[in-house]
Structure 1
Amino acid sequence: MSILNSELDATSSGFATNRTAMQKAIDEMRAVQQKVLDKSFEAKPKFDKRGKILPHERIKLLLDAGSPFVELCGFVGFQMFDDKDGSDAGGGVISGIGFVQGVRCLISAANSAIKGGTMSPMGVQKTLRLQEIALENKLPVITLTESGGANLNYAAEVFIPGGKTFANQARLSAAGIPQISVVHGNATAGGAYQPGLSDYVIAIRKQTEMFLAGPPLLRAATGEIASSEELGGAEIHAQIAGTAEYLAENDADGIRMARDVLAMLNWKEQTSVNAENYLEPRYPIDDVLGLIPADPKQPFDMKEVIARLVDDSDFLEFKQEFDALTVCGWAKIGGKTIGIITNNGPITPQGAVKTAQFIQLCDQTQRPLLFLHNTTGFIVGTDAEQSGIIKHGSKLIQAVANARVPRISIVVGGSYGAGNYAMSGRGLSPRFIFAWPNSRTAVMGGAQAGKVLRIVTEEKQRQKGMEPDPQVLDFLEQGTAAKLEQQSGALFNSARLHDDGLIDPRDTRRLLIFLLQTIAEAEQRQLTASSFGVARL
């Protein structure tokens, strides 16, 4: 055993300062989540009048009582496009991984309480990511749909990538992953293909409206006059068109039917569940709030974080004496053995070589990899260049990109420059990637970017025989620094799908256990693939 010894002083003033700063970041994150909830629940009287259930409540009703639910991509679209105050965060979609009838599923619900559930450009990108997660982790998909289709203010941004979501549905079915859709209301035009491409469709009497062209468009295009019910009501699709397999009486009945369909998939029985016996860490997870410095420039020891995440705080470090700035080692989380890679500074040539070797060792024995981001990037300078930092850094990125084992990333502190790539950032396609609300991700720090642009501009002006104006250079430097700082924040990055969501640092261990169990199930599940998926003929 290699038990980590913590040297953290939870009674120090520094700990208290750090904890206050982290709590502020968490509160900001929670405030955004609450704002979305509040805006959704403003529509409750309207939903109640129609005998409908709000989208958040639909998900709650669908899930097994008391079971865990990991929300995915909840901050997508935050203050982007026409989201002025952050209340539209989520891209018009509520999604996550949870249990239905004891089966781990990917669940997605159109948030029809906000803007009718219309799909924003980032909502489409989110849907593509959800489909990727379902395929990689072999998760059945349950969609609770009620949407006005694409947000026509951004039709050009939605139209083409929207087609890919339909292609992915067809491929999921062909891969052997079942998709169940409950149509709670409107599903028009492209929105009608989402249930149409599902393997099981549940329509709801007097609520479902599913058609390629609604009454106004039909009248404009052909002159034909028809009601929504005549065009695409629930009875039409269940009794005549055959688009729906089941006809429900209301929202709750439709969700009950989805649970019944899921229970009969023969899915749970295909996965053997092994009870894991493991010890909790020797140090409380709450300590992480005071562990991360309020000043991002202040270094700290990531082993203190590891000691609060891994079983029994037992961590077998790899090549500890070779390079102290990059930390690699093995541990168990929730009883499952993993390789952990993290940073106590920039990545050196030695660190890159060590990490690439470590990744190959994990790949050889099928141990998943956990990347805990906390790096300023690759080290720079004459010595680094002469020591082959480009060569060794490239080999590290090759090792990350080509590792066959599942990779999980948690952005704990900074994740800058090519260090983000080397630590399996979004561009390297980790199986899952989440971030702490204090984290920062960018090409470089704001202050560095400002100075770089100042130096480049000043040199260009001198080359042209101009005398640089210090005030102009100050404005350029400060403006650039401020812009980069704003764009490196956790909410900014999560809004752009650079991660799968922001998490309270205290939830990290629980999340990792859940994700590792999800991955383990996927690894042992055998799918029955077909050429074209299930079709209604």
Structure 2
Amino acid sequence: MVSKGGGENSILRHTQRNKKLFVRERLKMLLDDESFLELSPLAGLNMPYGDVPAAGCLTGIGKICGVWCVFMANDATVKGGTIYPIGVKKQLRAQEIAMQNRLLSVYLVDSGGAFLPLQSELFPDKSDGGRVFYNEAIMSAMKIPQVAVVCGSCVAGGAYVPTMAEETVIVDKIGTLFLAGPPLVKAATGENVSPEDLGGARLHSKVSGCSDHFAPSEKEAYECVRNIISTLNYEPLPEEVMEYDDPLYSSDELLGLAPQGYEYTLPVKLIVSRLMDGSRFQEFKADYGTTLVTGFGHVEGHLVGIVASNGELSHDASLKGSHFVQLCSQRSIPILFFQNTAPHAAEPTSILQAEAHTNRLKAQASMMAAVACAAVPKITIVIGGCYGSESYVMCGRSFSPNFLFLWPNARVALVDSRHFSTIPKADDSDCKGDELELSHLKEKLEEESSAFYSSARLWDDGVILPQNTRKVVAQCLEIIKQQKYQVISPCQYPVIRM
């Protein structure tokens, strides 16, 4: 459903009447001929204001001239490219990934501007639309190049995206760029003006200087972008032929291992053994704090530290996790978290139990601090439950992992509704009311904790199939690795366009 954008009729109108390429065709022409990592494809589904397939824009990471780049491409077949609150959130996440991993950014702009009925949700706040432009300036000051293509309508706030990029290409007869379009000019002044005269490619290439490159067609525009990237002095990763072994066990077996509940204990090493090269895993503190599994391994030749939930995160397990995370940070080894948090333990019923709970809390706090301050890339995969404070300790979204993905069976919530205590039955009407209220709360929690509810709201970077985990993790590690090869200039100011 998501891959069809706004639907067949919208695509026909976009490609035949408006003579434009569908967004996925644009990416084929722009990116190298190899697979790319699409981010948050399910964002925007079943939102309170309706379905917005892929949040009205495609974001992801692919190679252009051998260099990993973040792309943000509006899909004008979805609501005419109008920007919804979830679309803003998706673009901001893509920019955050670009900054965190120092990846150059390409914007394909084809947008009708903000969806005005929801302006209060996408304009005024700190993390709303204006933050996109703020980030563009910050990224430029960080020496992260940004290139934009005006390949359609570019109206109102959307007009700042290409004008703040370092180099901009505009497509003749298709690309238009203005703050207010012809209908608003007509309403305000009574004057009839064509989109081309008001903000077409020739005007911005010859008169205003808002565009740096004029492209007679979309094909030539994407060739121009490839030429620009080849002159950015942004070195691609050196061609290394890394030899590695496949896991001893098939990745397809992960489909049968994906945890569905807590009725049984699943040894997390069964999952690790289907992801590591040769199923080799050098475990750290194997016999201490066994409810957390830590150790080193390789994923398609990339060395990683593994931190994997193996039950309730005990005091000893938290201390072990804190120690191991600091080791990885000291050795500059990326950390891969597998999150499957157990339900909360029962409330303490004695002084001794209360003391044990307090000690566990202190140990978890120390691991939380170690995870937050570890200056290495972090990738989190939620393979089961993502509940409560343990989701923070295991590098959940609020701890800014470089990438965070969910398996389709994952659950994301403060508490697990299946472990609510039930209210004893009684004839009292208040008890019946409480029971009904609890039942409604459990239903609401059940709905809101699904992986698809989470992904639709961009609490993660996408739902991935368990059997694709090794491939996705390897791709992320390859992307993260590129920043090691960039030369960073000492001066810290953005490129101010003329």
Q: TM-score, normalised by structure 2?
A: 0.93
The change in CA–CA distance for 1:378 and 1:394 in structure 2 (over 3 A counts) is farther
Listed one character per residue, the Cα deviations across residues 300-326 of structure 1 (whole Å, up to 9, x for unaligned) are 111011001011111111112112211
Q: In the TM superposition, what is the alpha-carbon distance from 1:224 to its structure 2 partner?
A: 4.6
Q: In the TM superposition, what is the alpha-carbon distance from 1:54 to its structure 2 partner?
A: 0.7
How far, CA to CA, are the matches of 1:37 and 1:222 in structure 2?
40
Question: Please, which moves more after superposition, 291-300 or 257-266?
Answer: 291-300
- 1:328 maps to 294
The change in CA–CA distance for 1:528 and 1:204 in structure 2 (over 3 A counts) is same
- 2:456 pairs, out of 495, 502, 511, with 495
How far, CA to CA, are the matches of 2:87 and 2:421 in structure 1?
33
How far, CA to CA, are the matches of 1:468 and 1:373 in structure 2?
41
Partner secondary structure for residue 469 of structure 1: helix
- Whose RCO is larger (CA < 8 A, sep 6+)? 1
- 1:473 maps to 434
How far, CA to CA, are the matches of 2:27 and 2:250 in structure 1?
32
Structure 2: 5+ residue stretches without partners: none
Q: In the TM superposition, what is the alpha-carbon distance from 1:41 to its structure 2 partner?
A: 3.9
Question: Please, which moves more after superposition, 197-206 or 259-268?
Answer: 259-268
Correspondence 1:118 to 2:82: yes
How far, CA to CA, are the matches of 2:263 and 2:74 in structure 1?
41
Q: In the TM superposition, what is the alpha-carbon distance from 1:498 to its structure 2 partner?
A: 1.3
How far, CA to CA, are the matches of 1:159 and 1:293 in structure 2?
40
Question: Please, which moves more after superposition, 224-233 or 92-101?
Answer: 224-233
The change in CA–CA distance for 1:276 and 1:469 in structure 2 (over 3 A counts) is same
- 1:534 pairs, out of 470, 495, 498, with 495
Paired residue type of 1:159: F
How far, CA to CA, are the matches of 2:315 and 2:70 in structure 1?
41
Whether the 8 Å contact between 1:172 and 1:178 is mirrored in structure 2 is yes
- 1:169 maps to 136
Q: TM-score, normalised by structure 1?
A: 0.87
Listed one character per residue, the Cα deviations across residues 379-416 of structure 1 (whole Å, up to 9, x for unaligned) are 45435531212211111111111111111100001111
Partner secondary structure for residue 277 of structure 1: coil
Listed one character per residue, the Cα deviations across residues 28-55 of structure 1 (whole Å, up to 9, x for unaligned) are xxxxxx3551644432321223321111
- 2:402 maps to 431
Q: In the TM superposition, what is the alpha-carbon distance from 1:377 to its structure 2 partner?
A: 5.3
- 1:262 maps to 229
How far, CA to CA, are the matches of 1:477 and 1:283 in structure 2?
43
Whether the 8 Å contact between 2:58 and 2:74 is mirrored in structure 1 is yes
Q: In the TM superposition, what is the alpha-carbon distance from 1:264 to its structure 2 partner?
A: 2.2
Whether the 8 Å contact between 1:41 and 1:54 is mirrored in structure 2 is no
Question: Please, which moves more after superposition, 440-449 or 90-99?
Answer: 440-449
Correspondence 1:204 to 2:171: yes
Correspondence 1:357 to 2:326: no
- 2:308 maps to 342
Paired residue type of 2:241: A
- 1:243 maps to 210
Question: Please, which moves more after superposition, 272-281 or 133-142?
Answer: 272-281
Equivalent pairs, count? 489
Structure 1: 5+ residue stretches without partners: 1-33
- 1:57 maps to 25
The change in CA–CA distance for 1:49 and 1:186 in structure 2 (over 3 A counts) is same
- 1:446 maps to 417
- 2:368 maps to 397
The change in CA–CA distance for 1:354 and 1:165 in structure 2 (over 3 A counts) is same
- 2:148 maps to 181
Whether the 8 Å contact between 1:177 and 1:527 is mirrored in structure 2 is no
Correspondence 1:148 to 2:112: yes
Correspondence 1:370 to 2:336: yes
- 2:72 maps to 108
Whether the 8 Å contact between 2:59 and 2:91 is mirrored in structure 1 is no
Listed one character per residue, the Cα deviations across residues 73-115 of structure 1 (whole Å, up to 9, x for unaligned) are 11222211322xx4x2321111110111211111111011110
- 1:252 maps to 219
Whether the 8 Å contact between 1:450 and 1:476 is mirrored in structure 2 is no
Question: Please, which moves more after superposition, 468-477 or 252-261?
Answer: 468-477
Whether the 8 Å contact between 1:338 and 1:368 is mirrored in structure 2 is yes
- 2:383 maps to 412
- 1:513 maps to 474
- 1:316 maps to 282
Correspondence 1:74 to 2:29: no
How far, CA to CA, are the matches of 1:201 and 1:286 in structure 2?
44
Please provide the CA RMSD for this pair.
Answer: 2.1
- 1:90 maps to 54
Q: In the TM superposition, what is the alpha-carbon distance from 1:180 to its structure 2 partner?
A: 1.1
Q: Percent identity?
A: 35
How far, CA to CA, are the matches of 2:286 and 2:363 in structure 1?
19
How far, CA to CA, are the matches of 2:204 and 2:19 in structure 1?
21
Partner secondary structure for residue 222 of structure 2: helix
Paired residue type of 1:55: V
- 1:385 pairs, out of 354, 368, 374, with 354
Whether the 8 Å contact between 2:383 and 2:407 is mirrored in structure 1 is yes
How far, CA to CA, are the matches of 2:82 and 2:465 in structure 1?
29
- 1:138 maps to 102
How far, CA to CA, are the matches of 2:179 and 2:337 in structure 1?
45
Whether the 8 Å contact between 1:52 and 1:250 is mirrored in structure 2 is no
How far, CA to CA, are the matches of 1:224 and 1:288 in structure 2?
64
Q: In the TM superposition, what is the alpha-carbon distance from 1:339 to its structure 2 partner?
A: 0.9
Whether the 8 Å contact between 1:446 and 1:483 is mirrored in structure 2 is no
Q: In the TM superposition, what is the alpha-carbon distance from 1:467 to its structure 2 partner?
A: 5.0
Whether the 8 Å contact between 1:450 and 1:478 is mirrored in structure 2 is no
- 1:129 maps to 93
Whether the 8 Å contact between 2:202 and 2:214 is mirrored in structure 1 is yes
Whether the 8 Å contact between 1:281 and 1:312 is mirrored in structure 2 is yes
Paired residue type of 2:321: T
Q: In the TM superposition, what is the alpha-carbon distance from 1:292 to its structure 2 partner?
A: 2.3
How far, CA to CA, are the matches of 2:6 and 2:194 in structure 1?
31
How far, CA to CA, are the matches of 1:482 and 1:297 in structure 2?
20
The change in CA–CA distance for 1:397 and 1:468 in structure 2 (over 3 A counts) is farther
Partner secondary structure for residue 469 of structure 2: helix
How far, CA to CA, are the matches of 1:210 and 1:38 in structure 2?
23
Whether the 8 Å contact between 2:289 and 2:318 is mirrored in structure 1 is no
